[in-house]
Amino acid sequence: MSDFENLTGNDKELQEFLMIEKQKAQVNAQIHEFNEICWEKCIGKPSTKLDHATETCLSNCVDRFIDTSLLITQRFAQMLQKQSSGGM
Given this model, what pLDDT does residue 87 score?
55
For residue 70, the domain's CATH number is: 1.10.287.810
Query: Which domain covers residue 30, as residue numbers?
Result: 2-86
Q: What is the pTM of this model?
A: 0.52
d(CA 86, CA 80): 10
Question: pLDDT tens digits, the chain, 88 residues: what are they?
Answer: 455 555 566 788 899 999 999 999 988 988 888 888 888 999 888 788 888 999 899 889 988 888 988 898 899 899 989 888 875 5
Residues 6+ apart with CB under 8 A from 42: 54, 57, 58, 61
Total tally of structural domains belonging to the chain: 1
